[in-house]
Structure formats: C-alpha cells, structure tokens
C-alpha cells in the first residue's frame, strides 16, 4: 500500500518516516490532506502496512485535476486528485 500527502502539509509523511509523531506546517490547498500532526493510531497502522509514502506538490495536484477533467469529465479537488500519476 502506498499513501500520498501534500508537500505543503508533510506532518503525516514525516511521522511515518521518522516513526514518531511530528507537527509541521499546513500550507496546502488540499484540505483533505491538510494534517498538521501525525496521529498515533493512524501512524501505527501505516507503520505496519505501508510500503511507501509519496509527497505531492501543489503543481502536481493541479495537473491531476486538469487531467481528470479532460479524460473523465469529472472535477476533483486537490486531495482527490493527488494519487494520480502519469502513465
């Protein structure tokens, strides 16, 4: 399993990577990924089951939104579009 997190709200990613609860900035437009602190229960699950954690830039999310709109004709918000990767 792989997770994504906004580069401008990296607390969950940093908590997973360092295996301790981290608090960090929240400067992202992706409200669904706007976490300021890693949460213990969530992190324990991620530490056990997650194989990788990817940080996604605001530009990558904007590109993914446009791609979804062009290809699927659906509008996604930043957090919903964040997992998209170009083929």
pLDDT of residue 85: 80
pLDDT of residue 20: 96
Place of tokens 């930043």: 78
d(CA 19, CA 49): 13
Check whether 87 has a pLDDT greater than 80.
no
pLDDT of residue 10: 98
Measuring CA to CA, which residue among 14, 26, 25 is closest to residue 55? 14
Check whether 86 has a pLDDT greater than 80.
no
CB atoms under 10 Å from CB of 65, counted, come to: 19
What average pLDDT does range 30-52 have in this prediction?
95
pLDDT of residue 41: 96
Measuring CA to CA, which residue among 39, 30, 32, 31 is closest to residue 12? 39
């Amino acid at each position: 399993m792989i997770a994504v997190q906004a580069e401008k709200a990296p607390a969950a990613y940093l908590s997973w990577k360092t295996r301790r609860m981290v608090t960090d900035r929240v400067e992202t437009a992706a409200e669904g990924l706007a976490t300021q602190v890693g949460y213990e229960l969530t992190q324990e699950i991620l530490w056990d089951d997650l194989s990788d954690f990817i940080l996604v830039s605001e530009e990558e999310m904007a590109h993914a939104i446009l791609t979804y709109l062009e290809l699927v004709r659906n509008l996604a918000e930043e957090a919903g579009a964040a997992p998209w990767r170009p083929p």
